[in-house]
Amino acid sequence: MARTPFGNRGMTRFQRRKNGGTKTISSERQAAFYIGMAMMVIGFLTFISVFVSAANSIGDFSNVGSGAQSSFTRALVGMGLMMAGAFVRSIGSRGLAGAGVVLDPEQAREDLEPYSRMAGGMVKDALDEADLDLGTSKERVVMIRCQSCGQLNEEDSKFCQECGKTV
């Protein structure tokens, strides 16, 4: 069973775990991402060219009919390229299932794994930078059980938190 360009479709879950999961993005997905980005940039430049040519022809009404048609066509082509580029970029970055093209939750989880790892790493870095302790220390807490009700209380408690009797 081989690895497909947009994920590990042909592999069993055990084989994916054995191979280390999906820690990297395939070269095909990277190419799709960069092609989508290029399409978006070309579309944006095409769309903006409408405004640049309109600004250059202010006061020149000699060719209004065909100029307007050309501008409208360039604007539509530019917007279409930007939308198609965003779609291709989304597939490249998230994979087919992660982008919602293929409805397969397990495959989507695998496609998005590199981003989940990255986001988790970024959160960990931010918490380390802020020097926050979220209770991840391995301190052992001694608890004392109340003889009356069985409630667990902290070691230094003199009275039960549940029934109020002496511990």
List the pLDDT tens digit at each of the 167 positions of the chain.
444 445 544 444 434 444 445 567 788 888 999 999 999 999 999 999 988 888 887 766 676 666 677 888 999 999 999 999 999 999 988 888 888 888 888 888 888 887 777 777 777 777 777 776 666 556 677 888 999 998 999 888 889 988 999 88
Query: Is residue 104 exposed (0-12), middle (13-18) or buried (19+ Cβ within 10 Å)?
Result: middle
Query: Is residue 90 exposed (0-12), middle (13-18) or buried (19+ Cβ within 10 Å)?
Result: middle
What token pair was written down for 120?
A: 């988790």
Task: Determine the Cα angle at 115 with ends 2 and 96, to 5°.
Answer: 50
Q: Cα dist. 99→26, 32, 61, 109 in Å?
A: 15, 13, 47, 11
- Partnered with residue 145 across adjacent β-strands are 152
Close Cβ partners of 113 (under 8 Å, ≥ 6 residues apart): 21, 22, 23
3-state secondary structure (DSSP) of residue 7:
strand
Residue type at position 72: F
pLDDT of residue 8: 47
How many CB atoms sit inside 10 A of residue 105's CB?
8
- Buried b or exposed e, range 25-41, using 16+ CB within 10 angstroms: bbeebeebbeebbebbe
